[in-house]
Amino acid sequence: MGKRIVIALGGNALGNNLPEQMVAVRKTSKAIADLIEEGHEVVIAHGNGPQVGMIQEAMGLLTRAEPEKYIPFPLSVCVAMSQGYIGYDLQNALKEELLDRGIDKGVATVLTQVVVDQDDPAFQNPTKPIGAFLTREEAEKMEREHGYKMVEDSGRGYRRVVASPKPQAIVELSTISALVGSGHVVIACGGGGIPVVTEHHHHLKGAAAVIDKDFASELMAEHLNADMLIVLTAVEKVAINFNKPDQQWLSDLTPDKAREYIAQGQFAPGSMLPKVEAALKFAESKPGRTALITLLEKAKDGISGKTGTAVHQ
């Protein structure tokens, strides 16, 4: 029987720049269309780390070059831009792939705002890596010239980090739910959602942050009463002792084991840790719910229990 599935697409599903993205979304669309063809209801969220960093960098260059002409763009607006252009590419590639298979379904991106708490301690402690991977020298230059906080990201180079508060509520949830309920394929909560804080008189104010898309996808999966949360990334399974001689790939993970491994520091912050935390939260949110972490091209096999790391009670 078809399941309701929320998919969180990682960086490798989108590429690092526009030409890479246009190629990547075609492959991504094939994997998603396979699930729709099998009768699953699919809701898609995606990351935006490289893209939002690039957009903010480009906007920063413009405003620094001609400060009398351009006003700096807030980070929340950069997140909105990243949702727009990734959603545009993804919805077109997926629509085309579905039509090629004779499936005529509406596919649309919902520009999504996600409420965060303005007192979230994350605002005082930036942890979310965005933008390109840099060398140590380049990172030190960024620190000196722009006052950015830079960190080493899982052995892949240095990246800027920004605040990443936890998602509290999805503003456009009822719209997303109505579209999904009437058979449309929805792309929502892109880049974790545009972070907003609530002010007086229903006013929403953009916040300088990038929400983790794994946590936003988890929240959306809970609220849409999804059966599965699938986090698609660059590894087929989650490992303990990752990249060490005694590395061990995990097929099944109970919430208790996940907590034990988290306490041991088995999962890198900013990369695998939020995925395992989101999977654990979803698995515990209601009996019968499963979260799966695997490769994009293994999504179909993962759903049928052949691969990936499944987190369930």
Ligand X SMILES: NC(=O)OP(=O)(O)O
For CA atoms 161, 113, 219, 3, give the dihedral sign: negative
Distance CA 44, CA 59 (A): 28
- Residue 270 a catalytic site member: no
Instruction: Check residue 307 for interaction with ligand ADP (CB under 6 A).
Output: no
Binding segment toward ligand ADP, per CB under 6 A, in 16-24, 120-128, 172-180, 261-269: 261-269
Question: Total number of residues binding ligand ADP (CB under 6 A)?
Answer: 16
Instruction: Check residue 54 for interaction with ligand ADP (CB under 6 A).
Output: no
Of the candidate residues 62, 134, 151, 268, the single one contacting ligand ADP (CB under 6 A): 268
Return the H-helix or E-strand segment holding 162. Answer: strand 158-162
Interface with ligand X (CB under 6 A): 10-11, 47-49, 191-192, 210, 212-213
Distance CA 143, CA 141 (A): 5
- Residue 131 a catalytic site member: no
Instruction: Check residue 167 for interaction with ligand ADP (CB under 6 A).
Output: no
Do 47 and 9 form a contact (C-beta atoms < 8 A)?
A: yes
For the chain, how many helices (H) and strands (E)? 9, 17
Instruction: Check residue 267 for interaction with ligand ADP (CB under 6 A).
Output: yes
Distance CA 216, CA 273 (A): 14
- Inter-CA distances, 86 with 13, 59, 195, Å: 11, 18, 17
Instruction: Check residue 235 for interaction with ligand ADP (CB under 6 A).
Output: yes
Tell me the two tokens of residue 138: 């380049």
- Residue 241 a catalytic site member: no
Of ligand X, ligand ADP, none, which one does residue 267 interact with (CB within 5 to 8 Å by kind)?
A: ligand ADP
Residue nearest to ligand X (CB): 47
Q: Which residue ranges make up the site for ligand ADP (CB under 6 A)?
A: 10-12, 47, 154, 233-235, 238-239, 242, 266-268, 271-272
Active-site residues, by number, are: 11-12, 128, 213, 275
